Structure 1
Amino acid sequence: MYEHQQEAFEFMWKNLAGGIDLDELKSGARSDVIGGCVISHAPGTGKTRLSIIFIQTYMKVFPECRPVIVAPSGMLLTWEEEFRKWNVDLPIHNLNAADYSGKEDIAFRRLAAKENRNISLMRLVKLYSWVKGNSILGISYGLFKKLTADNSCDPKLSQVLLERPGLLVLDEGHTPRNERSLIWKALGKVKTEKRIILSGTPFQNNFGELYNIMCLVKPKFAEKISIRTSKKGQRKAEFFSDMQQDLLPEKNEGKGIWVSLTNHVTDDNAEEVRSILKPFVHIHSGNILNTLPGLRECVIELDPPPHQKDIIEKMEHIGSNVIFENEYKFSLASIHPSLVTYLNLSKEEETLLDRPLLEKQKLNPYIGVKTRFVMEVVRLCEALKEKVLIFSQYIQPLSMIKDQLIKLFNWSEGKEVLQMDGKIRTKYRQSSIDIFNDMESEARVLLASTKACCEGISLTGASRVVLLDVVWNPAVGRQAISRAYRIGQKKFVYTYNLMTSGTGERDKYDRQAKKDHLSKLVFSTEIDFTNVRKSSSQAKEEHSSKLISEDKILEEMTAHDKLKGMFLKIYYPPKGICA
């Protein structure tokens, strides 16, 4: 293991078992110590490998432990792959898989074979094999929510899932961060308090969500805050008025303190928040990635051609002002004008567009400024034998670009062009990943949705990453880039954050950067905290001809007479500030 993994391993033992003295643990001297912890390591720094080693060791010391790994459904396949890769001798029963793994209990399988085969029966066989011991259960967040619901069709199964786990590992543990969601409530009912949250980006949008995550991994987190505040001799009146305190239910006291403490986090008072999290949050900001060839992120503001600019202006008169619908229509229009044909338009709105013309232009990438940029990057990468990873939060742009690539380069889907999104069955995703990462394969481009290619997936075959749209959550961009820039990458990685002028994407990016800075203030080690503050104070946009010249592809595009006109601005955010 790397040094940061060794430190985290010891940190996990101290939090979940009470110490690292095995004799003391076996004697039960610290059996009263229970709790959970967060492993907040930068994406791509080996959290899955660390967790597997921890689970293996933990089960040797506590053989009656029943570990459960809860993760997005696609990530369960990654866990299975990692278990095979490292020759782990522990069976992992994937409750989401549509088939047996071959490691289920033989007696249970023989008994089940007497009945008609169905998914419910298979799940029971896997569940009972896990209960019998010496194995691990894998289940998705969605299935866990379904099987433990109050109206579950099998109350006994629900009871087993809530009462039998002795160790709960939540991969992408920032997923259940809404206290009103059913999955957050369901996971909160799990009996064990020995919980591990794995997340390279625990701070997603705001401190309220972070509080919910902490309460999930550490059910007594609110109580810890109250005790800590009391020990420091701070009166509750510092946080609330007397009237507010009288009205505040006791159970919400910790949350009230947290809200007041995080109401205005700055460079100067971030230390207080960090000190509260420090006992049960292990942070690694990704220094291990410094051993890789390198990463360069740039933000590119593009000037749309006249027809696309006209479509963008018409978006002001199309659709409702509901924020998500508004974001959707401008995101599509910013990539390629024909994408607006996917919008649900009224008859009156249809009159604003020339639908037949837009339909005819779908396969022409050069009338959309972002699709034009993509085609030129892919063309130049083809000559340099580099692979390109293209991200969008929406499926329609990915499908359109796939069709454009196939027509322009005479390529085939599944060969030179791959697509991975939520509609692709999870069992086929690993195959696409393997093909793309094989440097001898003919795969040149992988089009991926930010949701389907989330944390934990390795796409180190790519040395160029294009982010087609800007999202409010800065963690999404970091996770996307970290699919390529992670342990195992052998090339220098260049990333391009694309923005189209006139769409409001620049304002969104600036707000995203502020959120990202808050995350870095709280989730930075003591060593790099000073550097984060320094970077913030020096955060100036840098347009450097020297940096552009070091990127051969960008240099050639900006120097080309027919291409340079689409670039309005290229700048390089200071390291540690870019989302």
Structure 2
Amino acid sequence: MTPESRNKRIIYLKYWYTNGGVMLMNYDQLRYLLMRSSREDDEYYRYLINPGPDVVVLDEGHRIRNAGSQLYKIVSEFRTLARICLTGYPLQNHLLEYYHMLEFVAPGILGPQETFKAYFTFYIERSYANSLPSIKQKAAIRLYTLQLLTEEVTHRRDALTLQEALPFKTEFAITFKMTDIQYEGYVNALKSIERESSVISNLLLLRTICNHPKILQKLLSNRESKRREQFYINNNDNSDTTYMDDQSVEEAADEVVTPAVPGEVEEEELIGLDMNMFDWATDYFKNDSIENWNCSNKMTFIVDLATECSVIKEKIIIVSHSLACHDYLQHLFSVLGIGTLRIDGNTPLKLRQAILDDFESDENKLIMLLSAKAAAIGINVTSANRIVLIDQDWNPLYDEQSIGRIYRYGQLKPVTVYRLVTASTIEERIFAQSVHKKSISRRLIDNKASMTISKEELKEYYIQPSLDLPAIDINKVRKELNPDFITYSALLKIKDHITDFKLHDMDNVEEYDPYVRLSAPQRREAVSEASRLLKEWKRQRRG
């Protein structure tokens, strides 16, 4: 920052601070200004932090969920008493995210972090549908206590408030059998990762096979090229390449949950894996069936759905956490003659709107491929009314935000969401985990009558899959789909390879309730405890 530009900013801030009004500032600018300040003797610090404004409003408040981030440290210094956090995602992975947002708006209300973890987190996050009744009962009491404790400083408005302004939204969860060739690759991969501790790499490897074996072949081919390139660099400039070490990954698994894995890191993660892990792959990729899209039932469904939609010119958004998956789909749709556009993390910002405009105006462009992270914010695609979420990730935030790209103001058609899951694999377990997180979030905020993953729990994610799974009864499904003939037609073509199909709405997860209903004495116990904690907090504030 030049002295001239600094002076202009100071004059601008001083005028606002002296005369009042609303100052709009993004997080990057706030961080930039305050990281360079010398605190008490700095005008930026005085105008923005201490004493700062009369009211501070943090939009996208979940961005301060990480207490170790520079942003969290900066906003924690605000001396402003009136604080507001706005967020559509109060809990993505674990309760500590919620704790940090509450700690900003009402410092001390939840007590010290370690106390909060021991009293609330330990019980609430470990209550599952198959937990012991005593654990579920304790978790339900603690969850109700937490909701009561925070209700004075939280205000919730869910998607129900939009129902009158938006068309109907239907979500389907579709679970597919693996094909024989997928099963072979998945089992081989499971055997090879028993020696490998990287949670992220394991997910990438198994998820890729669930999408399509050809995608894994392409990734491994790229991996070899990158390894040779890195070898050349290392032997010419003595630079070091750092990969996530075992200890870091174990800490991630022990502490909370691995965050969403952007597609851009796929090849980087695979580069660091042991070469011997893929000894089985050479013979595996000689199978000619890998060249066909129907060696993945997911891909078969997507092609059938796209074909049905092309007849009536309906547009589809396809979201994946994998750039390699989009590479495969882009090539596939090109071969099939289906007009396709794409936006991912590598798409320059200045080109994105032009691509969106092209998609909206050209009726022959029927498919938009969006990477999960790129689709999370700042994109409006209401010209499409169907969205396919191909794969699963530990953090459900990006999928939920992706749905918001088409289910928003301006949408005129009924919206259909397809969540695709591969049966008896890591995807099915991650999907159940996402539902569990949503269940906690909903009950925590609404008082409806990441989640920590231990090393032992992680083992359940890597169990042997099964091919012996019954198919759905398409006649029962037909009743649920009337009058959606597009979905029904796509399902009918692949009905023998679908193990489960159900209506599923992440905004309404009561059917997955991992908690018991509280009796009157238990509710009184929670009310009494919440009242005690609240009085103690208010007494400390006055003192």
TM-score, length basis structure 2: 0.66
**Aligned with 1:169: secondary structure?**
strand
Moved more, 346-355 or 293-302: 346-355
Counterparts in 2 of 1:355 and 1:458: CA distance versus 1, 3 Å: farther
The answer to whether the 8 Å contact 2:313/2:364 transfers is no
Deviations 1:96-153 (A, max 9, x none): xxxxxxxxxxxxxxxxxxxxxx899768756754554356343245x6445544799x
Counterparts in 2 of 1:449 and 1:270: CA distance versus 1, 3 Å: same
The answer to whether the 8 Å contact 1:172/1:455 transfers is no
Counterpart residue identity of residue 485, structure 1: Y
For residues 338 and 123 of structure 1, the distance between their equivalents in structure 2, rounded to whole angstroms, comes to 54
Which residue number corresponds to residue 419 of structure 1? 342
For residues 279 and 382 of structure 1, the distance between their equivalents in structure 2, rounded to whole angstroms, comes to 51
Counterpart residue identity of residue 464, structure 1: R
The answer to whether the 8 Å contact 1:485/1:493 transfers is yes
For residues 506 and 571 of structure 1, the distance between their equivalents in structure 2, rounded to whole angstroms, comes to 14
Counterpart residue identity of residue 502, structure 2: Y
For residues 452 and 161 of structure 1, the distance between their equivalents in structure 2, rounded to whole angstroms, comes to 31
Which residue number corresponds to residue 557 of structure 1? 490
Do structure 1's residue 215 and structure 2's residue 103 form an aligned pair?
Answer: yes
CA displacement at 1:322 relative to structure 2: 2.1
Do structure 1's residue 428 and structure 2's residue 351 form an aligned pair?
Answer: yes
Deviations 1:357-389 (A, max 9, x none): 589999853333322222221121111221111
For residues 371 and 384 of structure 2, the distance between their equivalents in structure 1, rounded to whole angstroms, comes to 15
Over the aligned positions, Cα root-mean-square deviation in angstroms equals 3.8
For residues 289 and 8 of structure 2, the distance between their equivalents in structure 1, rounded to whole angstroms, comes to 53
Q: Which has the higher contact order (CA 8 A, sep 6+)?
A: 2
Counterparts in 2 of 1:386 and 1:208: CA distance versus 1, 3 Å: same
Counterpart residue identity of residue 493, structure 1: V
Counterparts in 2 of 1:251 and 1:505: CA distance versus 1, 3 Å: closer
Counterparts in 2 of 1:356 and 1:305: CA distance versus 1, 3 Å: closer
For residues 297 and 209 of structure 1, the distance between their equivalents in structure 2, rounded to whole angstroms, comes to 27
Do structure 1's residue 287 and structure 2's residue 160 form an aligned pair?
Answer: yes
Which residue number corresponds to residue 312 of structure 1? 186
The answer to whether the 8 Å contact 2:313/2:363 transfers is no
Counterpart residue identity of residue 216, structure 1: F
Which residue number corresponds to residue 257 of structure 2? none
Which residue number corresponds to residue 547 of structure 1? 480
**Aligned with 2:365: secondary structure?**
coil
Which residue number corresponds to residue 381 of structure 1? 309
For residues 337 and 419 of structure 1, the distance between their equivalents in structure 2, rounded to whole angstroms, comes to 22
The answer to whether the 8 Å contact 1:303/1:369 transfers is yes
Which residue number corresponds to residue 23 of structure 1? none
Which residue number corresponds to residue 176 of structure 2? 302
Counterparts in 2 of 1:121 and 1:295: CA distance versus 1, 3 Å: farther
For residues 322 and 3 of structure 2, the distance between their equivalents in structure 1, rounded to whole angstroms, comes to 33
Which residue number corresponds to residue 462 of structure 1? 384
Which residue number corresponds to residue 55 of structure 1? none
**Aligned with 2:61: secondary structure?**
coil
For residues 183 and 121 of structure 2, the distance between their equivalents in structure 1, rounded to whole angstroms, comes to 43
Which residue number corresponds to residue 172 of structure 1? 60
TM-score, length basis structure 1: 0.62
Equivalent residues in 2 for 1:318-329, closer than 5 Å = 318-319=192-193, 320-329=196-205
Counterparts in 2 of 1:138 and 1:289: CA distance versus 1, 3 Å: same
Counterpart residue identity of residue 157, structure 2: H
CA displacement at 1:465 relative to structure 2: 1.2
**Aligned with 1:281: secondary structure?**
coil
Count the aligned residue pairs: 413
For residues 317 and 15 of structure 2, the distance between their equivalents in structure 1, rounded to whole angstroms, comes to 43
The answer to whether the 8 Å contact 1:362/1:400 transfers is no
**Aligned with 2:178: secondary structure?**
coil
Which of 323, 342, 347 is residue 395 of structure 1 equivalent to? Answer: 323
For residues 70 and 207 of structure 2, the distance between their equivalents in structure 1, rounded to whole angstroms, comes to 30
Equivalent residues in 2 for 1:216-235, closer than 5 Å = 216-218=104-106, 220=107, 222=108, 224-225=109-110
**Aligned with 1:462: secondary structure?**
coil
The answer to whether the 8 Å contact 1:298/1:571 transfers is yes
For residues 313 and 423 of structure 2, the distance between their equivalents in structure 1, rounded to whole angstroms, comes to 31
CA displacement at 1:430 relative to structure 2: 3.7
For residues 304 and 120 of structure 1, the distance between their equivalents in structure 2, rounded to whole angstroms, comes to 63
The answer to whether the 8 Å contact 2:387/2:416 transfers is yes
Counterparts in 2 of 1:356 and 1:316: CA distance versus 1, 3 Å: closer
CA displacement at 1:261 relative to structure 2: 8.3
For residues 9 and 424 of structure 2, the distance between their equivalents in structure 1, rounded to whole angstroms, comes to 54
Which of 189, 193, 203 is residue 91 of structure 2 equivalent to? Answer: 203
Which of 556, 567, 571 is residue 502 of structure 2 equivalent to? Answer: 571
For residues 70 and 287 of structure 2, the distance between their equivalents in structure 1, rounded to whole angstroms, comes to 41
The answer to whether the 8 Å contact 2:385/2:416 transfers is yes
**Aligned with 2:170: secondary structure?**
strand
For residues 10 and 303 of structure 2, the distance between their equivalents in structure 1, rounded to whole angstroms, comes to 49
Which of 416, 436, 443 is residue 494 of structure 1 equivalent to? Answer: 416
The answer to whether the 8 Å contact 1:435/1:441 transfers is no
The answer to whether the 8 Å contact 1:211/1:255 transfers is no
For residues 312 and 417 of structure 2, the distance between their equivalents in structure 1, rounded to whole angstroms, comes to 16
CA displacement at 1:269 relative to structure 2: 5.6
The answer to whether the 8 Å contact 2:120/2:143 transfers is no
Moved more, 185-194 or 330-339: 185-194
Unaligned runs of 5+ in 1: 1-117, 227-249, 412-416, 531-540
Which of 437, 448, 460 is residue 515 of structure 1 equivalent to? Answer: 437
CA displacement at 1:498 relative to structure 2: 0.7
**Aligned with 2:319: secondary structure?**
strand
Counterpart residue identity of residue 209, structure 1: E
For residues 2 and 300 of structure 2, the distance between their equivalents in structure 1, rounded to whole angstroms, comes to 46
CA displacement at 1:215 relative to structure 2: 0.8
The answer to whether the 8 Å contact 1:312/1:502 transfers is no
For residues 407 and 488 of structure 1, the distance between their equivalents in structure 2, rounded to whole angstroms, comes to 33
For residues 125 and 358 of structure 1, the distance between their equivalents in structure 2, rounded to whole angstroms, comes to 65
For residues 186 and 483 of structure 2, the distance between their equivalents in structure 1, rounded to whole angstroms, comes to 33
More helix by share: 2
Deviations 1:503-556 (A, max 9, x none): 2221222222222111111222x7xx35xxxxxxxxxx9964311343312211
Counterpart residue identity of residue 341, structure 2: L
Counterpart residue identity of residue 508, structure 2: G
Counterparts in 2 of 1:410 and 1:258: CA distance versus 1, 3 Å: closer
Counterparts in 2 of 1:566 and 1:122: CA distance versus 1, 3 Å: farther
**Aligned with 1:275: secondary structure?**
helix
For residues 64 and 287 of structure 2, the distance between their equivalents in structure 1, rounded to whole angstroms, comes to 40
Which residue number corresponds to residue 26 of structure 2? 139
CA displacement at 1:557 relative to structure 2: 2.1
CA displacement at 1:423 relative to structure 2: 2.2
Deviations 1:239-258 (A, max 9, x none): xxxxxxxxxxx796677665
Do structure 1's residue 479 and structure 2's residue 397 form an aligned pair?
Answer: no
For residues 122 and 420 of structure 2, the distance between their equivalents in structure 1, rounded to whole angstroms, comes to 37
The answer to whether the 8 Å contact 1:302/1:501 transfers is yes
For residues 252 and 269 of structure 1, the distance between their equivalents in structure 2, rounded to whole angstroms, comes to 16
For residues 370 and 2 of structure 2, the distance between their equivalents in structure 1, rounded to whole angstroms, comes to 29
CA displacement at 1:333 relative to structure 2: 1.2
For residues 157 and 544 of structure 1, the distance between their equivalents in structure 2, rounded to whole angstroms, comes to 65
Deviations 1:245-290 (A, max 9, x none): xxxxx79667766557857675566443222222221101221232
For residues 35 and 288 of structure 2, the distance between their equivalents in structure 1, rounded to whole angstroms, comes to 48
Which residue number corresponds to residue 368 of structure 2? 446
Report percent identity of matched pairs. 23
For residues 473 and 306 of structure 1, the distance between their equivalents in structure 2, rounded to whole angstroms, comes to 29
Counterpart residue identity of residue 136, structure 1: M
